[in-house]
Structure formats: structure tokens, C-alpha cells
Structure 1
Amino acid sequence: MTEIEREEIRKELQRKLASGNLSLLEQAIARSEAMRALNPGLYDQAAAVVSARVRSVATAGAFGAEAKKHVERTH
């Protein structure tokens, strides 16, 4: 990803976050994508750890039935 592409992603995400029309999940996704765009290597390392922990908690049902179904479907 080029620096120009990263900048475009960052601006788009800032616009969406500033609008205030995003759900908490959408805000978390936007922040995550911004981190990925700005530092892909570090993001991948952190994502592996977080993903494993979130997956185990979500499959236990801590985030509700919809989140549990999503995790089971996507992982």
C-alpha cells in the first residue's frame, strides 16, 4: 500500500468517525483499519494476539449470540 493510499484511507475513516453516524462496532472497525493502513507489520502482530483472545471470549458467548455466530462463521 502506498503512502497516498494510506492517506486516503485515513481521511475517509476520519470523515466517517467525525460524522458520528457509526455504531460502536463500526467505529472499532474503522479504527482497526486505520491502524492497519498506517503500520501493517505491527498491526498484523497485534491482530494475531487480539484475534485469538477475542475469538475465545466471543465463542463463549460474552458478546452475545450474534457475535458468537459471526465468530463461528468467520473463523
Structure 2
Amino acid sequence: MRAAGKTVGKAIPHHVGRHAHPKAKPETPAETAPATGINYLKVLGDEYAVNTAKGINYSSLMDDSRGHK
């Protein structure tokens, strides 16, 4: 293997060992929260339907500061 035009030795893979201390105890998972019964995707879908029922005014999306009409 070469770096900056000089031989720097043979490339060898890096060994990744243990990621935690051997005496570390595993964390207990938190209790799952109870279900709320709210269907968030339905709420978003309903709101989207109300906001787009009249259609989208694309001309209002243009940036008038650049001189476009």
C-alpha cells in the first residue's frame, strides 16, 4: 500500500471488539405506552382533503420578487 508516493506497509482489516464493558448490565427496555386510539394518518388525510378540496392555486406559489408573472 502506498500513501503520498511512499510504501506504508500491508493493509490489514481492523478488528472491532466488544462495544460495552464486560461488567456492564444490559438496560431494561422501557414499558410501551398505552395506545391512545387516535389514528394520526386519518387525521392528516382528512385535513389534507379539506385543504386541497378547492384545488391548489399554483400561481400563488410563485416567487414574485424575481419578476415572474
- Which of the pair has more CA radius of gyration? 2
Greater strand proportion: 2
Normalised by the size of structure 1, how large is the TM-score?
A: 0.26
Normalised by the size of structure 2, how large is the TM-score?
A: 0.27
